[in-house]
Amino acid sequence: MGIDLDQGDHSGCGRITTSGTPTIVRFVAKTLKAPYTSVTDVGAFFERVQTIAEPKPPKKVDSAWVESYQFKTAHPSAIPSMLRWLNVIDDEGESTGVWDDLRVDGTRETTLAKLVREAYKAVFDAVDVEKATSSDLRGAFVSAYSIGDPGRHIKCFLALCQQARIETAEEATSRESTQSGNAKPKQKPKPASTSSSSRKVTPRRERHAGKVTETTGVNVTLNVEIPADWSEEEILDRIAVVSRALGRSDQGDS
């Protein structure tokens, strides 16, 4: 029996010859699908992987491994799927050689950026992600990966780009929108309050040789400016000063 693999056939065909009779066998290649790991799970992985006390890459990264290291994720299988897509691990869950580079601050962003650009090559070839709108990204994902609704896949892609410091127009727009929504409205300065102190001088009656003479006084109104940022103690002090001034004025009149 002889086996002849036709390397030029991209469909994965080969010929197995038995007793002189060739038989065509088709080999079906396993294809990966773009991951739709949640934004929370993407962040959980890159946060937790930095603090794992493991000197060497794990022998196998799978759901059990994710659970054993207590990653903050509700879907343990989503992380291995993402790592396979990025070629961080192979189909057997073993490291491809970039594991430690993703754990070190000095190499993480550069390494991840390269992995993201290679894994999503079809998207980067189709659009300029730094200028692409959400509609552009949707079209690129549908065309490249034949996805019905690529919403979750795009969120995963944008989260990975953010971790790798790859600028995207959609991510920047989302960030600006969030910052705008969280911005506190400027408060208008409060106008200085005004405390008015009024003194009404009533007419005085005086007796002169059996006659009653009435003298007419003057109504005095004082406006005291009280700054808006003054404390209660400062306000009371100001009122006390005004009251003493009015008392001295009253003594002078008498």
Domain boundary residue, one of 180, 213, 234:
180
pLDDT computed for residue 63 by the predictor: 92
pLDDT for 118 equals 97
Q: In terms of domains, do 23 and 69 share one?
A: no
Same domain, 95 and 144: yes
Number of domains in the chain: 3
pLDDT at 62: 92
The answer to whether residue 73 is domain-embedded is yes
Q: Judge if 24 and 59 occupy the same domain.
A: no
Global pTM reads 0.58
- Whether 125 and 201 map to the same domain: the answer is no
Q: What was the pLDDT predicted at 189?
A: 54
Q: Which of 145, 180, 215 is the last residue of a domain?
A: 180
Q: In terms of domains, do 99 and 154 share one?
A: yes
The pLDDT of residue 191 is 53
pLDDT tens for each residue of the chain, 254 residues long: 454 444 434 444 444 444 555 544 443 334 578 999 999 999 999 988 888 877 678 889 999 999 888 887 888 899 999 999 999 999 999 999 999 999 988 999 999 999 999 999 999 999 999 999 999 999 999 999 999 999 999 999 999 999 999 999 876 555 544 454 555 555 555 555 544 444 554 555 555 445 545 555 556 666 667 777 777 777 787 788 777 777 766 666 55
81 plus 119 within the same structural domain: yes
6 & 108 share domain: no
Whole domain around residue 71: which residue ranges? 39-180
Q: Which of 126, 156, 180 is the last residue of a domain?
A: 180
User: Do 219 and 147 share a structural domain?
Assistant: no
Give the DSSP per-residue string, the chain: -EEEE-TT-TT-EEEEEETTEEEEEEPPPP--------HHHHHHHHHHGGG---SS--S--SHHHHHHTT-S-S-TTHHHHHHHHTTSB-TTS-B-S-HHHHHSHHHHHHHHHHHHHHHTHHHHHHS-TTT--HHHHHHHHHHHH--S--HHHHHHHHHHHHHTT---HHHHHHHHHHHHHHPPPPPPPPPPEEEEEEEPPPPEEEEETTEEEEE----EEEEEEE-TT--HHHHHHHHHHHHHHHHHHHHHH-
Q: Does residue 186 form part of some domain? A: no
Task: Please check whether residues 98 and 217 belong to one and the same domain.
Answer: no
> Are 96 and 204 contained in the same domain?
no
Residue 98 within a domain: yes
> Has residue 162 been placed in a domain?
yes
Residue 207 placed within a domain:
yes
Model pLDDT, residue 140: 96
80 in the same domain as 23 = no
Same domain, 173 and 58: yes
Which pLDDT score, from 0 to 100, does residue 233 have? Answer: 78
Predicted local confidence at residue 96, as pLDDT = 94
